[in-house]
Amino acid sequence: MNKAIICLTGLLISFTVFGQKALHNSSKMKIIHAKSKMVSIRDGNELQQNSWTIVPSAKPDVYETTGKKVTFITDMDSITFKTELNGVYDFVILLDKDSAWTQIKCVPSKLEILKRAGAYKQADTTGLPHFSYETPQNARLRDVKTYFKLDSIAGDGNEVSKILNIMYWIHNNVTHDGSNYALAEFDAIDLYQYHKATNKGLNCRHLAISLNEMYLSMGFKSRYVTCLPKNENDQDCHVICSVWVDSLQKWIWVDPTFASYIKDEKGNLLSIEEVRERLIDGRSLILNEDANWNNKNKQTKESYLMNYMAKNLYWLQIPISSQFNPESRYRNNVNKYVSLLPIGYARSNMSNIGSITNDPQYFWQKP
């Protein structure tokens, strides 16, 4: 009994000391006041209006930045910190009777994380799967070509002109909604009919799958590419198309979500591989002037390439078979994948990402 009392007393003393220490630390934090839960943040030169919600239960509630100066702006007050890489800055927001311990962390930029990625290497690819591309003679792909009247959409220009015309058509006729997982079969016709019937947008994966089928139906070797971040807790990725252009003897980047393609300083169209390399070594990248989201928000090189795609080009995944309805929702049509990883990158579960390679020559081989 005495031992129990002693132990309990010790615990109470520990909790008291810990509580006093936490209170002492919080008393050293700067304090700002608020009546509204919504906070605006100025990160560098960018003002994010009402982008932050005060959450007192989060201890701390962390905001990550890559900038050098961050200002939190409430409806009553504001506070500014000059930030340095790996710096941590704590303060308290008093919201009526609640207090919210808030923390700003200055972290490496998405581009810096990509630059720190391991290299690729040429390797023995014996045993790795062979890639295949369904031909336009496939009956379902013929249906796609006929249904969308793709000869008319593509026009009479050269390969690149036809590829871009089809991309612009799907971008302008199907809205994007990254949060929607369509209740449809995952083929171009059914996804388009779902969009028209429900007026709901398609996510980037479904847009890329649809565009890929259109290209295959026109005789272009194409595949959709899932572009993924290093952080496996980051559930956001992006899916675009990679199309082989015979006249250029190369793959090119085509993104239906943002109606984007990329060129170098000489006007040459670039592949996903080339864009990734140029992001890492700092060479010139030119985003087409009319790149946009849903014909509303213009895209810039800084936000789209240097931030969003830099995050999502850490590792890549493609289907082994580029075909009609590659990821059927309702049919037993299981596709398999190959993932291109930088050397040294590992995930907690490597069994669910398909075949793995560090060899870009194998991954981007000529079709």
Name the maximum alpha-carbon separation found in the chain: 93
CA separation for the pair 168, 290 (Å, rounded): 10
Residues 6+ apart with CB under 8 A from 133: 216, 221, 222, 223, 322, 323, 367
Tens-digit pLDDT profile for residues 67-97:
899 999 999 999 999 999 999 999 999 998 8
Burial class (CB in 10 A: 0-12, 13-18, 19+), 266: exposed
Q: What is the pTM of this model?
A: 0.82
The domain limits of the chain are: 30-107, 112-363
| Mean pLDDT across the chain | 91
pLDDT at 28: 83
Is 5 a residue whose pLDDT tops 60?
Answer: no
Question: Cβ neighbours of residue 336 under 8 Å, at least 6 residues apart?
Answer: 129, 319, 320, 321, 354, 355
Q: Pick the closest to residue 357 from 129, 192, 178 (CA basis).
A: 129
CA–CA separation, 337 and 225 (whole Å): 10
pLDDT tens figures, 215-238:
999 999 999 999 999 999 898 999
The predicted model gives 104-116 an average pLDDT of 96
CB neighbours of residue 136 within 10 Å: 14
Mean pLDDT is lowest, of 118-122, 204-208, 352-356, for 352-356
Task: Give tens-digit pLDDT for 125-164.
Answer: 999 999 999 999 999 999 999 999 999 999 999 999 999 9
